[in-house]
Amino acid sequence: MQYLAAIIAFICWQGCLGLNLRPYNVTALSMFVNNDLNHDGYFTLDEVHLTFALCDSNHDGRVSRHEYMSYVDLHTPTLHDLSHALYDDYDVDHDNHLDEHDFQNFFNLMDTDKDHRVSALEWEQYWVNQFIKYEHLHLHGHGGR
């Protein structure tokens, strides 16, 4: 997942515009730019940790479903359904807490070439697939597909 912060910030901005994330590749690349915190052209596991830390309201190093959804609902209530579905993806052991194991798994899903960093292309491929997977949640806005 300041990975998630930038994602949430970008999606929040999109959410204010009626939750139209299309074209998905443009949205994904914009998210990448916002999440590459050191602007080195790669997204790293450290950036995952920084992002999820924003949701960790009790600062215990884990993000509960309640913490995550509270953060999302506070900033972008229009993204409730998408965020709820994404949390299910992130929480690989289904214990309703995101921790190191979940962060690593999330990062590994994006790092397809296993070089310990996610390029813009890897990021784009991952997020476009996620957006397609969750199109049924009306990510295309009210104007059609």
Angle at 126 between CA 104 and CA 96, to 5 degrees: 45
Domain extent at residue 7: 3-137
Q: For 45-98, what is each residue's pLDDT tens digit?
A: 999 999 899 999 999 999 999 999 999 999 888 888 999 999 999 999 999 999
pTM: 0.80
Per-residue pLDDT tens digits for 123-135: 999 999 999 999 9
Residue 142 in domain: no
- On whether residue 105 sits in a domain, the answer given is yes
Q: How confident is the model at residue 7 (pLDDT cuts 50, 70, 90)?
A: low
Residue 124 belongs to some domain of the structure: yes
Residues contacting residue 96 through CB under 8 Å, at least 6 positions apart: 64, 65
pLDDT at 19: 66
Task: Let me know if residue 42 belongs to a domain.
Answer: yes
Q: Write out pLDDT tens, residues 101-130.
A: 999 999 999 999 999 999 999 999 999 999
Number of domains into which the chain is organized:
1
Instruction: Please tell me the distance from the alpha carbon of residue 119 to that of residue 42, in angstroms, as a whole number.
Output: 5
* Among the listed residues 65, 9, 60, 11, the one whose alpha carbon sits nearest the alpha carbon of residue 37: 9
